[in-house]
Homo-oligomer: A and B are copies of this chain.
Amino acid sequence: MTESATLQKKDFQSDQIVRWCPGCGDYAILSAVQGVMAELGVPRENIVFISGIGCSSRFPYYMNTYGFHTIHGRAPALATGVKLANPNLSVWVITGDGDGLSIGGNHLLHVLRRNIDVNILLFNNKVYGLTKGQYSPTSDQGMKTKSSPDGAIEYPINPIRVALAAEASFVARTYDANIKHMAEVFMEAAQHKGTSFVEILQNCVIFNKDVFDDVYDRKVRDDHMIHLADGEPLIFGSEEKKGVFFTGSGLTVQKISDSSPEGLMVHNSKEHAPFYPNMLASMEYPAYPVPVGVFKRIARPTYETMLHDQIKVAKQRKGDASLKKLFHAGETWDIG
């Protein structure tokens, strides 16, 4: 049955018409994911896509795998059940900044700390797309929307920082304008054992058009983003090369030159001390270039492994389940 070896990208396209707005960043993400699926080598029947509600959450319908379009905010919890029931499945959670960080923030936190081996893709378009454009927990303060005609007065959160606080074992960021980068990051996520959290900067052309252009437009990309690579120093810049330095009291961006100070940071996604990825996560535009790539990846036993281990040990210790023994546990007596 494992036709997987020969699977093509198109084998992962379902027969449903894709119904996002023309120009929506979701198309590119879909395409990148379908591409990665073909390379993964996992048979289609062992792949499950689980989403909440939102534009992004229609994703499963377009994947020719198993899929579950659940309810708003709850996909991580549902995915937990799927993965515990069958740890052989490759489970993908699709969520949005509203689905995952507003109504679903708590489930996200808990699936991450439990380290269930599922891959979470959070489409961050900094707006509620499906309900027609209200501000979200990642929207910039001051954003004018139908529900905030005088400007949003909420302070945004940074999905990466939240994931790190949740003790996530794999944390990454990518962006819809770069299929190749997305594909690489998704592949890394798939290969990580434990929960993988990937923030995807996504363009909602209708309600938050080009909100990331300052960061990832081709014209500025090289100067406003930094592509993380293990072992490589944090250097960026199209013409003039700049580096990110840690100077004892904080991070600074400085030109690379012979007189550069010490403290040029070198990327290490496997750094165990929480401070390093946190420091990266605090780099935000315009003060800093925006890091993309894998922030953190550490090995930690998954919840399902530990659960299944406990089951194995219990069987060894107590012997196989006997209903008779169970029924007769405690004090019994005979009548008649």
Determine whether A278 belongs to the interface, using a CB cutoff of 8 Å to chain B: yes
1/0 contact trace for A128-152 toward B, CB 8 Å?
A: 0000000001000000000000110
CA distance A310 to B150 in the complex (A): 7
Residues of A whose CB lies within 8 Å of any CB of B are: 102-106, 109-110, 113-115, 137, 150-151, 153-158, 161-162, 164-167, 246, 248, 250-251, 262-263, 273-276, 278-279, 282, 300, 303, 306-307, 310, 313-314
User: Is the pair B263, A273 in contact by a Cβ cutoff of 8 Å?
Assistant: no
Q: Which of B114, B151, B313 contacts A155 (CB under 8 A)?
A: B114
CB distance from A149 to the nearest CB of B (A): 9
* Residues of B contacting A162 in the complex (Cβ-Cβ under 8 angstroms): 109, 165-166
* Residues of B contacting A150 in the complex (Cβ-Cβ under 8 angstroms): 310, 313-314
- Name the residue among A137, A153, A162 with the largest chain B CB count within 10 angstroms: A153
CB distance from A218 to the nearest CB of B (A): 30
Given contacts A161-B165, A164-B165, A273-B250, contact A113 B263 (CB under 8 A): no
What would 19 more interface pairs be, CB under 8 Å, given A248-B262, A251-B273? A105-B105, A105-B106, A105-B110, A106-B106, A106-B109, A109-B109, A109-B157, A110-B137, A153-B306, A154-B303, A156-B167, A157-B166, A157-B167, A161-B165, A165-B165, A250-B276, A274-B282, A275-B278, A275-B279
